[in-house]
Structure 1
Amino acid sequence: MPKLVGPESKGPQPPLNWANKLNFMINHFRDWVFKNVHGGSLVYNICWEDPRCDRELMQIEPDSEIVMITSAGCNALDYLLDDPKAIHCIDLNSRQNALLEFKKSLFKHSSYDELYDYFGDGKHAQAEEVYRQQLRPHLPAYAQEFWDQKMSYFEGKGPKKSFYYRGSSGTLAWLFVRYMQMRPSLHSKVLKLLKAETLEEQEQYFEQVERKLFNKAVRWTISRHFSLALAGVPRAQRRLITEEYPGGVSSFVVDAVRHVFTELDIKENYFWQVYVNGHYTKDCCPSYLREENYLSLRERADNIHTHTTSFSQFLKDNPGKYSHYVLLDHQDWLAAHDVPALEEEWQCILANSRPGTKILMRSAAMRIDFFPDFVKERVSWVSSEEELKESHFQDRVGTYGSVYLGTVK
């Protein structure tokens, strides 16, 4: 979900009648909630984009230089398996970069077993000790400051016994798991669904749980702004889904979950498995947690560079002819709230591209209609409406309206 967000632009407002004034106040309150949920928090504890699809689309080469949004850093490590020259990870939220730096330090200064305890099991029996003795000295100051206060995320204590139930998105996952655990029959069937051997079994189990899993109360809850804010979905994306999708947000979520759980192999879908179980398994986990990849990633970890700034500012400060951009879906927010910033970002991207540069982005919308004219002139696009339809179908996350891949002319 969106990774680069900010407060809504303020400017002269037209005269408001009482109804418009009420709507104006509600929207600003929603933006305030989103800002405060995200302002001091780790938002994403996993990347919510499928790197298997990304790598197939981007065709990363040894001379590739990638600029991407950090999120939880999982996908940057996944891309590193293709051995690019450099990956620059950009995020306005320093906590997301602190998470990636922590993962890098486990590759460079610890062992595979330690890495898997922290991020495979989501907890570590000596989390604080290992952090202080092996990892902290090698972290940048801002990451030290964050993890000095948050190593409890990995201690396995309290009601949230896993790192994957921490941060705002983890809190939402934990609340949903608690809802299921309070209904033992439902929880048992969901666990059986996650272990189903065939798509036919998956469909049978899903039919048994769907109505209880998404009853009226749950549908109402997942449509609320606060729930979506925890998941990292700002008001602009909520509005896109509400306006474009029949049945609005709740129907979009239910249909997306139905697709993932009945049409794709759930046994290897680590995105959804981890949020239900609170941990990965060695057979169902991101590529960076597979033991056979550890030494390669250890050798290449220094090729990942983190930057706490905006996309545009990074490109102004670090000009170059980059080969790939991974924008996630943050331009949904820019298109709704800050068109000048959207245009500036595209100007910076094109000024720092070369012929053949690839641009990968996603959207809550079924179709992106906010590309500036000068972008349409310089970039050839394929999308999930046509050429990328199969890739979009196979995406194990399954919660985006569309995916676009652009090639600079």
Structure 2
Amino acid sequence: MTDLAPDAGFGRKNTKLKSALLQHKALSLAGLSERLFGLLFSGLVYPQIWEDPIVDMEAMQIRPGHRIVTIGSGGCNMLTYLSAGPARIDVVDLNRHHIALNRLKLAAFRHLPSHKDVLRFLASTGLRTNSDAFDLFIAPKLDAASRAYWTSRDISGRRRIGVFGRNIYRTGLLGRFISVSHLLARLHGINPADFIQARSMREQRQFFDDKLAPLFERPVIRWITSRKSSLFGLGIPPQQFDELASLSGERSLAAVLRHRLEKLTCHFPLRENYFAWQAFARRYPLPHEGDLPPYLQASNYETIRNHAHRVAVHHESFTELLARKPASSVDRYVLLDAQDWMSDRQLNDLWSEITRTADAGAVVIFRTAAEASILPGRLSAALLDQWDYDAEASLRLGAQDRSAIYGGFHIYRKKA
């Protein structure tokens, strides 16, 4: 198997992404909001995926022979799944920038000479030689469409691949949102980067209570977090904003965001939470500072490298890909939070294909902005009755998700 799908080329505009997002008329307030989000979301959004892969791996219990379909996003979790030796992974994404990034990360594992070279390329910052490594080792082996993407020029006239010589984790929609958040905090006298100086859970809690929590009481921050567009940088579409606002009982999401930030900063040791390092230090920890993501750890390198050819990357929707698969051909499904964006019709179309293609013992995992699963009351009874919801494991593993972004983590298992 190659790391390319039949649709290896991808166009300049994310027409598939935009069509998936638009549910209201253009001249309505909801329609305008959707179109603004679609415009922002059409660029690179997530240089790193923000779902905890350790939670995913425990929920799915991947075994050799399993066939997985997952949304790509930043590509990190797909690589982590490879460490369990599945037979095949199909990666789908409607964002062409994520497609190029997933293919590049796979090619880095396949063609860079060593684990140290992969770390320099994907985990280090400020290494201009990463562009040279791309030209020498990766570009000659990369598919034509992805090679053209990374060698093309960005708006500043620099080659796109040059971002790996600076700091790709400061880019993308989410990276810019974090930068603006840091700036806003500094304007209020708080430097979020100081959080990485904490040496214990007690110090982490103290930093949150003394420095971060009071920010959410500031009028300007409460006003900003009451605007849907202000949170587009987190990848929160209008539909998710409304869902989150329902949790707080008010239009501002200040209380919800404060609670999520408290989990990120106070519930896990800093050394063990690379998500917190990205949020506060804007990079991964150095070896003496903490743990890297599982896909970058030396213990997983050889397995991921040897299995990278088992991944196919597709520029299409989850439903479109499944519609081309035979019945009973998939064992694990990873939907991220995509269902929060969907209409009832899109949701039922998706689960019709999931149910048709699910093999015996199939597992579906996904996350939601709010705490509850979105399926009851929206998915047809005929489809929902074919799945068991693992409420206990969903609640337990959701609490263990170190990224702290989502309100709920959900596991559905195909009934025998």
- Could you say whether these structures have the same fold, taking a TM-score greater than 0.5 normalized by the shorter chain as the test? yes
Q: How far 1:181 moved relative to its partner? A: 5.0
Alignment of 1:6-405 (within 5 A): 6-9=20-23, 25-39=28-42, 41-110=43-112, 111-149=114-152, 150-156=160-166, 162-181=167-186, 186-187=190-191, 190-214=192-216, 215-247=218-250, 248-281=252-285, 282=287, 283-320=290-327, 321-334=329-342, 338-367=343-372, 368=374, 369=376, 370-383=378-391, 386-405=392-411
Q: Give me the CA root mean square deviation.
A: 2.2
The one-letter amino acid of 2:171's match is: R
Q: Is the 8 A contact 1:122 1:278 kept in 2?
A: no
Structure 1 residue runs of 4 or more that deviate by more than 6 Å after TM superposition:
none
What CA distance in whole angstroms lies between the structure 2 residues aligned with 1:353 and 1:4? 25
The one-letter amino acid of 1:171's match is: R
What CA distance in whole angstroms lies between the structure 2 residues aligned with 1:85 and 1:219? 48
The one-letter amino acid of 2:165's match is: E
The one-letter amino acid of 2:161's match is: M
The one-letter amino acid of 2:168's match is: F
Query: CA, structure 1 residues 115+257, in 2 after alignment: closer, same or farther (shift >3 Å)?
Result: same
Q: What residue in structure 2 maps to residue 19 of structure 1? A: none
Q: How far 1:182 moved relative to its partner? A: 5.4
Q: Is the 8 A contact 1:67 1:322 kept in 2?
A: yes
What CA distance in whole angstroms lies between the structure 2 residues aligned with 1:389 and 1:7? 29
Q: How far 1:10 moved relative to its partner? A: 5.2
Q: How far 1:405 moved relative to its partner? A: 0.4
What CA distance in whole angstroms lies between the structure 1 residues aligned with 2:279 and 2:264? 14
Unpaired runs of 5+ residues, structure 1, are: 14-23, 157-161
Q: How far 1:70 moved relative to its partner? A: 0.4
Q: Is the 8 A contact 1:222 1:250 kept in 2?
A: yes
Q: How far 1:124 moved relative to its partner? A: 2.6
Q: Is the 8 A contact 2:24 2:30 kept in 1?
A: no
What CA distance in whole angstroms lies between the structure 1 residues aligned with 2:126 and 2:309? 25
Q: How far 1:191 moved relative to its partner? A: 4.2
SS at match of 2:390: strand
Q: How far 1:180 moved relative to its partner? A: 4.2
Q: How far 1:382 moved relative to its partner? A: 1.8
Deviations 1:303-348 (A, max 9, x none): 12111101111012233521100111111111xxx32222111111
Q: Which moved more, 1:94-103 or 1:106-115?
A: 106-115
Query: CA, structure 1 residues 395+42, in 2 after alignment: closer, same or farther (shift >3 Å)?
Result: same
What CA distance in whole angstroms lies between the structure 1 residues aligned with 2:352 and 2:62? 23
What CA distance in whole angstroms lies between the structure 2 residues aligned with 1:275 and 1:201? 17
Q: Is the 8 A contact 2:195 2:280 kept in 1?
A: no
The one-letter amino acid of 1:170's match is: G
Deviations 1:222-254 (A, max 9, x none): 443233222211100001111233444221111
Q: Which moved more, 1:288-297 or 1:217-226?
A: 217-226
Identity %: 26
Unpaired runs of 5+ residues, structure 2, are: 1-15, 153-159
Q: How far 1:137 moved relative to its partner? A: 2.0
Q: How far 1:165 moved relative to its partner? A: 0.9
SS at match of 2:404: coil
SS at match of 1:328: coil
May I ask how many residue pairs the two structures share in their alignment?
382
What CA distance in whole angstroms lies between the structure 1 residues aligned with 2:187 and 2:137? 40
The one-letter amino acid of 2:169's match is: Y
What CA distance in whole angstroms lies between the structure 2 residues aligned with 1:332 and 1:212? 30
What CA distance in whole angstroms lies between the structure 1 residues aligned with 2:127 and 2:146? 19
TM-score by length of 2: 0.86
Q: Is the 8 A contact 2:66 2:330 kept in 1?
A: yes
